[in-house]
Amino acid sequence: MRKLIVAANWKMNKTPEEAGIFVEEIKSGIADANADVYVFPPFLALQTVSDVLKDTDVKVGAQNMYIEDKGAYTGEISADMLQSIGINSVIIGHSERRQIFKESDEMVHAKLIKALSKGMTPILCCGEDLETRENNKFMDFINSQIKSAFADVSESDACKVIIAYEPVWAIGTGKVATGEQAEQVCASIRSTIEEMYSKETADNIHILYGGSCNVGNAKELFSMPDIDGGLIGGAGLKPEFVDIVHCKEK
Ligand code: PGA
């Protein structure tokens, strides 16, 4: 039985001070959940948010990292640096990284390998843009993103990855995928994992949905057989996140 996972990706929002105030406000609500809860603040707020949540099971992760341990990579942050402050989860290949910062499938793959080699929990994002959906090429597109990211990843490492299916056309647009649309893709991702590894790994791996997920639609989405929770953007910046974390309990 896969446990529900609910993660908030704050993107480039909240100063350390704002982050500290907000996380104090939602702390008790997210700490007692019947779910694994993750919060992904901007780098500068990681320490503050970790301090506030230190006596809870809520995990604090980074939104990105680089593939090298150190050196002349201006503006980048390594896995070692994150781990030195106790950060052991990281979002990899978010569509904003892929589109705005031109991260290729090869870079996403290298980051996934790096995170796994450091024993971190990666949340690997995939998802199609509107054109690919409208051309009806999205299944092949997403499965090729998955195959490329997981190339050379061992079976024992594969089940440590959390996959997030986030259709680009649904991110921050208020246009949410229907439960059926999201389920169709998540089920197909699970079949790809079964093809690459085994039924056991496919049954164990967590697959989340992300894209305009909110308190009004989370329960329906998270009740789909192949959707194990959500990666929440906009609604993860508001107290509503607490209700999303608890949505299946009512
Ligand atoms: P959204 O973002 O919930 O604001 O659509 C989701 C994400 O990008 O992870």
pLDDT tens digits, residue range 29-44? 999 999 999 999 999 9
Q: In Å, what is the CA distance from 148 to each residue of 93, 106, 152, 201?
A: 12, 7, 9, 17
If you average pLDDT over residues 56-60, what whole number do you get? Answer: 98
Q: What is the mean pLDDT of the chain?
A: 97
Q: How confident is the model at residue 172 (pLDDT cuts 50, 70, 90)?
A: confident
Question: Would the CB of 177 count as within 6 Å of ligand 1?
Answer: no
DSSP H helices, 69-137, are: 79-84, 95-100, 105-117, 130-134
Quote the pLDDT of residue 173: 87
Which pLDDT does position 196 carry in this prediction? Answer: 98
Instruction: Please give the number of the atom of ligand 1 that sits closest to the Cα of 170.
Output: 5
Residue 41 and residue 18: Cα distance in Å, rounded? 11
Position 174 pLDDT exceeds 90: no
**Best of 39, 99, 130, 171 for a ligand 1 pocket test (most atoms within 8 Å of beta carbon):** 171
pLDDT at 221: 97
Question: Which pLDDT score is estimated for 176?
Answer: 86
pLDDT at residue 218, rounded to an integer: 97
Q: What is the arithmetic mean of pLDDT over 54-64?
A: 98
CB 34 within 8 A of CB 7: no
pLDDT of residue 175: 85
Each residue's pLDDT tens digit, 100-139: 999 999 999 999 999 999 999 999 999 999 999 999 999 9
Whether 212 is in the pocket of ligand 1, judged by its Cβ within 6 Å, is: yes
* Listed residue (143, 149, 167) closest to 230, CA to CA: 167
- Does residue 94 have an active-site annotation? yes
Stretch 7-36: mean pLDDT, rounded?
97
Q: Which pLDDT score, from 0 to 100, does residue 139 have?
A: 96
Query: How far does residue 248's CA lie from ligand 1's centre (Å)?
Result: 20
pLDDT in tens, 177-212: 899 999 999 999 999 999 999 999 999 999 999 999
- Write b or e for each residue in 213-234: b if 16 or more Cβ atoms lie within 10 A of its Cβ, otherwise e: bbbebbbebbebebbbbbbbbb
Percent of the chain, pLDDT > 90? 96
Residue 28: the pLDDT is: 97
Kindly state the percentage of the chain with pLDDT values over 70: 100
- The token pair that represents 227 in the structure block: 């959707």
For the cut 80, the answer to whether the pLDDT of residue 250 exceeds it is no
> 139-171 pLDDT, tens per residue?
999 999 999 999 999 999 999 999 999 999 999
206 is annotated as an active-site residue? no
Spatial contact of 61 and 8, defined as CB atoms under 8 Å apart: no
